[in-house]
Structure 1
Amino acid sequence: MYEVIRRTEPKPGASRTVLFQGNEHGSQVSFFLVDNDPGQGPGLHVHPYTETWVVRSGEAEFTVGREKTRATAGDIVVGAANIPHKFVNVGTGRLEIVCIHANDHVVQEFLEEANG
């Protein structure tokens, strides 16, 4: 068995980020397909499982715990479970990133507001 989920264009003014909740489709993983403008990114938050980020285009600055790093197209960053983290688009163009959650649904607690 398989399922194909077709991409749809967001409505004008709506977020370009897409959320896939694995449990709604018989999958063991969940993810966000993020498409952010410069300066945008989620606020500091935490998950009870690892999160893996795959940067598709642009440049992101990640804060994981007390450490910061930058990643560009093709880079993969992995954050440990229960460690507060966030990222922000520090480039001049769009940031496209896949945020893979090692769980069949997204569980996150926000600790601060989003950027942008």
Structure 2
Amino acid sequence: MPACGGDDAAGVAAPEDETAAGGRHLRRRAGRRGHRARAPRRDLQPRGRADVHRRPARDHVHGPLRAQSDSALISVFRADELPRDVISRDFVGEQHGGVGACVLFVDANPGEGPRLHRHPYVEILIVLEGTSTFDDGVSKRAVRAGELAVVDAGQAHGFVNNGPGVLRQIDIHLSPTFITEWLA
């Protein structure tokens, strides 16, 4: 299936010029001007946005997201119906068919937040509203609404709502279960 960016974006070289039926002269690009198209490397995974966003096949018909057995492929959960922890509602992937991530919907009042800890997996924290001060055990940094922080596996971290209002953020743990080592 060709990638976005033209019929030749998949790396198959096409002739520069063709004559269409009726004598019209067509010009096909093999890529950027002055560059030859390269054969695709089958040993590589998709690298960029163009490799991800692909056109549907010509015979593709959009329809409901259901398998042939008519079982749902998409499950929807309400955040306010998830189990409540101290400052969050928690979606634990393992408890929902083995999903490979846990998601916390954080709703923290001023001064609230988890103390220093770490996980053996990557965590992504997305601040939706308010300001959160992240602490890595050595330095502190403010992360504001519209920003996200990526915490590497094994990296010590904690955060506190240092703003005047409620801190709302979504924390994504790239693990089907929570594994936390508390450091303070």
Report how far residue 5 of structure 1 moved. 1.6
Q: Distance in 2 between matches of 1:4 and 1:97?
A: 19
Counterpart for residue 23 of structure 1: 94
Which of 69, 90, 106 matches 1:34?
Answer: 106
- TM-score, normalised via structure 2 length: 0.55
1:95 aligns with 2:167: yes
Percent same amino acid at aligned positions?
Answer: 36
- Aligned twin of 1:61: 133
Deviations 1:31-71 (A, max 9, x none): 11100000000011110011110000000000124232101
* Structure 2, unaligned runs of 5 or more: 1-72
The residue aligned with 2:60 is none
Match of 2:156? Answer: 84
Whether contact under 8 Å (2:93, 2:100) holds in the other structure is yes
Question: In structure 1, how many angstroms separate the alpha carbons of the residues matched to 2:122 and 2:137?
Answer: 13
Question: In the aligned structure 2, how far is the partner of 1:58 from the partner of 1:82?
Answer: 26
1:81/1:7 CA distance change after superposition, 3 Å: closer
Cα RMSD of the aligned pairs, angstroms, is 1.8
Q: Which protein, 1 or 2, shows the higher relative CO under an 8 Å CA cutoff with sep ≥ 6?
A: 1
Displacement of 1:84? 1.1
* Structure with the larger strand share: 1
CA distance in 1, matches of 2:94, 2:146: 28
Q: Distance in 1 between matches of 2:86 and 2:173?
A: 20
Number of equivalenced pairs: 109
Which runs of structure 2 are paired with 1:97-112 in the superposition (5 Å)? 97-112=169-184
Instruction: Report if aligned partners of 1:65, 1:83 keep a CA contact under 8 Å in 2.
Output: no
Q: Moved runs in structure 1, 4+ residues, more than 6 A? A: none
Structure 1 stretches of 5 or more lacking a match? none
Structure 1 length normalisation: TM-score?
0.85
Instruction: Tell me how far apart the structure 1 counterparts of residues 79 and 149 of structure 2 sit (CA, whole Å).
Output: 25
Q: Given residue 114 of structure 2, which amino acid in structure 1 is its aligned partner?
A: P
